[in-house]
Amino acid sequence: MSARLSAVLAALLLLAGIATPANAATRTYREYVALGDSWTADVVIVPLPTTQYVPFGCAQSARDYPKQVAAALGVPKFFDASCGGATTDDFANPQSGLLFGGTNAPQFAQLTETTDLVTVGIGGNDAGLAGAVSGCINLLPPPLGVPCKPKWVSGGVDRMSENITAAKHKVITAVTEIKQRSPHARVLLVDYLAGIPQSGGCWPFQPVLNSDMEWLGAKLRELNAAVKSAAAATGVEFVDTHSQTIGHDACTSPFTRYVEGLLPISANGLAIAVPFHPNSAGGDAQARIVLSKIRG
């Protein structure tokens, strides 16, 4: 391509208002709403959760990735509606039964026609994967320790896979409604960090039998693929935090991991995290990756 033709094409793109990477990087946002579950809301529980936006029972951290993103972008109007334990049902409906009581307002209530940036992290609780992880805790070695995988996989049917498929459709419905409520917003659908090893496990360092850890890791990747598929189906942007955090899972060194295990004393960013959730270093990683996507 000649230099003259390149210059003509660049001028046409500029006149047409098509954003180049440089334009995307300089775009400003005035109204940002963060929606999601505990992997959005939580980073650490010591220091104590904040009640600036949601009830104490949501266990929302004062330094989760949405707050870091909002601060970095200098957004004048920001609301972090994320709450631990949330499902897509809690987007349109109040979330009750929180730890220590309280009810979180429907997360969609914060969306307006003037909202121009939305990040969403949801699907894990819809699929029941978080509960499955807790149910796989096993303090006894095999053969004394009973694997949890057979509770989910029987007769060639993996019920967790079925749950993930159903969760994908719920995420699609939720994102569609976000676009209806905030038609001018840039919507980013964020997946889950690589908190589980790509293969094998590390029992007893983390009290999940290696065979179960292997299965849980496969289900986490399957869930993230479903989130990516939901983004494609709804025409919103997908933020891949998983591939960029491989090697920082709960089986790695306390000074390396981004996700804590059963004993959540984080040495990678000194604090106490929520068990089986991102620690402060994980929250920082989420913020970096989301910001990189937003800035093009």
The percentage of residues in the chain with a pLDDT greater than 70, rounded to a whole number, is: 88
Q: Is the pLDDT of residue 5 over 60?
A: no
Residue 63 near residue 43, CB atoms below 8 Å:
yes
Residues 63-108: pLDDT tens digits? 899 999 999 999 999 999 999 999 999 999 999 989 878 899 999 9
pLDDT band at 269 (very low <50, low <70, confident <90, very high): low
- Say if CB 123 and CB 194 are below 8 A apart: no
For residues 253 and 246, give the distance between their C-alpha atoms in angstroms, rounded to a whole number.
13
In this structure, are residues 279 and 253 in contact, taking their beta carbons and an 8 Å threshold? Answer: no
Residue 52's CB is within 10 A of a number of other CB atoms, namely 10
Question: Beta-carbon neighbour count of residue 92 at 10 Å?
Answer: 14
Indicate if the pLDDT at residue 245 is higher than 70.
yes
Q: Contact 118/185 with Cβ under 8 angstroms?
A: yes
Sheet containing strand 237-239, edge to edge, reads: 77-80, 31-36, 117-121, 186-190, 237-239
Is the pTM of the predicted complex or chain greater than 0.75?
A: yes
pLDDT the model gives residue 12: 39
Residue 133, phi then psi, degrees to nearest 5: -60, -45
Report pLDDT for 27.
Answer: 85
**pLDDT recorded at residue 192:** 98
Model pLDDT for residues 139-165, shown as the tens digit of each residue:
998 788 999 999 999 999 999 999 999
Assigned token pair, 104 = 């979180």
Which residue, 175, 168, 158, is CA-closest to 237? 175
Coil, helix or strand at residue 283: helix
**Residues present in the chain in total:** 296
Q: Give the pLDDT score at 25.
A: 52
**199-210: average pLDDT:** 93
